[in-house]
């Protein structure tokens, strides 16, 4: 019955559905069109602004040659390593501090200061200590991600409703049981939004660090291209950087949130930036 009732109701919506579906493509199409028209009229130097198709061609070339993949793997490897360390340390220390009010009061001023200089600011100092190896990148990403995850975890832990914890205590739950079954879950929305913005900041920090000094990675690829006035490679690289950032958010974080926070009917808080 319901299936039959549904069918006629669906048809008139179709046309609108298609419009709704293609809407996100419109600004991209407009941008490409504007770019092409500008290029056709001004005819700028290839090294300054190549036409769209050259960028597409270059993108295809570096993809086919495997060059791009190598850079992507290098960048993502650093990101995964740095972010993992950042999440683990941020969550663990966040719990430690969040559960202890005096510890929180003591560390807070330090956290404010060091999160203000987190990430790329450390580069000049740390290059001297770690050289230009993978340790440098992992440090810089860790340094960026840690503070975001840490601050959000502390906030999340502190904001878990006391009555939820007391309720489980009266069921006979030990303090550890309560932390694992109540506090950890209750703080989840905050931890997730910390991770989410941590990933965003970390990705930026990585590209910046790779620009300054690396032998591989997307940042290095585009910076290297600038020396040879290869704007096509730079643009192709920027497209890849943007796509990867979108994909990470859509394929990892959004589904993760959907399976946890949304399912439990919790609200995702605004991320605590910087």
Partner 1 sequence: MTMAQASHARAVPMHDPFRIGGFSLVAGKFSFLLPFVVLVAIWWTIKIAFDLDDRVLVAPPDVLGALWTLFSRGILADYAATSLYAIAVAIIFSACVGVPLGFAVGANKYVARSLDLFLRFFQGVSGISWLPLAIIWFGFSDTTILVIVVYTLVVPVIFNTMVGVRAIPREYALSLQTLGASRLRVVRDVYLPGALPSILVGLRLGMGYGWRALIAAEMLVRQGGLGDLIFGARTFGQIDRIIGGMIVIGVLYIIVDRLIVQPIESLTFERWGVLRK
Partner 2 sequence: MTPTVQGDKIVVENFQHIFDSADGPIEATGRVDLTIPAGQFVTLVGPSGCGKTTLLKAIAGFIDPTHGRILCDGAPVTGPGRDRGVVFQELAILPWRTVRRNIAHGLEIARAPRQEIDATVKRLIELTGLVGFEDRYPHELSGGMKQRVAVARTWAADPDVILMDEPFAAVDAMTRLTLQEELASLSYQTKKTVFFITHSVDEAVFLADRVLVMSRRPGTIKASIEVPRRTPGGRDWESFTTDTDMQAIVEKVLRLVREEKTAHKKDSAPVALEAAG
Cβ of residue 237: shortest distance to partner 2, in angstroms?
41
- Alpha carbon separation from 159 to 101, 104, 185 (Å, rounded): 12, 13, 12
Q: Is the alpha carbon torsion for 203, 204, 207, 213 positive or negative?
A: negative
Closest CA to 184 of 160, 204, 203: 160
- Residue 249 site contact among partner 1, partner 2, none (CB < 5 to 8 Å, cut-off depends on kind): partner 1
Residue 125 contacts partner 1 per CB under 8 A:
yes
Cβ of residue 266: shortest distance to partner 2, in angstroms?
6
DSSP tally for the chain: helices H, then strands E: 15, 0
Residue 265 contacts partner 1 per CB under 8 A:
no
Cβ of residue 168: shortest distance to partner 2, in angstroms?
7
Decide whether 10 or 263 has the Cβ nearer to partner 2.
263
Closest CA to 268 of 156, 112, 113: 156
Cβ of residue 47: shortest distance to partner 1, in angstroms?
7
Running DSSP on this structure, what letter comes out for residue 47? T
> Are the C-beta atoms of residues 219 and 77 closer than 8 Å to each other?
no
Which residue stretch of 77-85, 86-94, 102-110, 165-173 sits at the interface with partner 1 (rule: CB under 8 A)? 102-110
> Among 23, 40, 171, 176, which residue sits at the site for partner 1 (rule: CB under 8 A)?
23
End-to-end Cα separation, the chain, in angstroms: 54
Burial of 270 (C-beta count, 10 Å sphere; 0-12/13-18/19+): exposed
Question: Degrees (nearest 5) of the Cα angle 269, 118, 201?
Answer: 50
> Are the C-beta atoms of residues 104 and 162 closer than 8 Å to each other?
no
> Among 127, 164, 168, 266, which residue sits at the site for partner 1 (rule: CB under 8 A)?
127
> Are the C-beta atoms of residues 130 and 139 closer than 8 Å to each other?
yes
> Among 113, 133, 252, 259, which residue sits at the site for partner 1 (rule: CB under 8 A)?
113
Residue 12 contacts partner 1 per CB under 8 A:
no
The length of the chain in residues reads: 274
Window 204-233: residues binding partner 1 (CB under 8 A): 204-205, 207-208, 211-212, 219, 222-223, 225-226, 229, 231
Decide whether 36 or 100 has the Cβ nearer to partner 1.
100
Q: How many CA atoms lie within 13 A of 216 on its CB side?
A: 15
Tracing tokens 């597409």 back to the chain, one arrives at 56
Cβ of residue 251: shortest distance to partner 1, in angstroms?
13
> Among 33, 92, 246, 252, which residue sits at the site for partner 1 (rule: CB under 8 A)?
246
Which tokens go with 174?
């030990």
Which residue stretch of 4-12, 24-32, 69-77, 131-139 sits at the interface with partner 1 (rule: CB under 8 A)? 24-32
The residues binding partner 1 (CB under 8 A) are 20, 23-28, 31, 47-48, 102, 105-110, 112-114, 116-117, 119-125, 127-129, 197, 200-201, 203-205, 207-208, 211-212, 219, 222-223, 225-226, 229, 231, 234-235, 237-239, 241-246, 249, 267-271, 273-274
């Amino acid at each position: 019955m319901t299936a039959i009732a549904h069918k006629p109701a669906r048809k008139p919506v179709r046309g609108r559905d298609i419009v709704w579906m293609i809407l996100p493509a419109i600004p991209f199409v407009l941008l490409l069109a504007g770019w092409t028209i500008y290029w056709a009229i001004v005819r700028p130097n290839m090294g300054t602004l190549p036409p769209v198709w050259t960028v597409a061609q270059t993108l295809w070339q570096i993809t086919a040659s495997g060059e791009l993949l190598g850079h992507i793997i290098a960048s993502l490897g650093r990101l995964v390593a740095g972010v993992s360390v950042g999440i683990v340390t941020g969550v663990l220390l966040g719990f430690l501090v969040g559960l202890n009010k005096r510890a929180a009061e003591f560390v807070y001023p330090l956290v404010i200061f060091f999160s203000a200089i987190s990430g790329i600011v450390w580069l000049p100092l740390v290059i001297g200590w770690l050289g230009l190896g993978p340790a440098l990148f992992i440090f810089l990403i860790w340094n960026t991600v840690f503070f975001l995850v840490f601050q959000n975890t502390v906030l999340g832990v502190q904001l878990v409703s006391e009555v939820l914890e007391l309720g489980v205590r009266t069921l006979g739950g030990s303090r550890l049981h309560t932390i694992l079954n109540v506090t950890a879950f209750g703080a989840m929305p905050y931890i997730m939004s910390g991770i989410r913005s941590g990933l965003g900041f970390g990705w930026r920090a990585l590209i910046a660090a790779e620009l300054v000094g690396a032998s591989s990675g997307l940042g290095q690829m585009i910076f290297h291209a600038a020396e040879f006035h290869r704007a096509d490679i730079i643009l192709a690289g920027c497209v890849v950087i943007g796509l990867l950032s979108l994909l990470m958010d859509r394929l990892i974080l959004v589904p993760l949130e959907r399976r946890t926070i949304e399912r439990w009917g919790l609200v995702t808080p605004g991320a605590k930036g910087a």
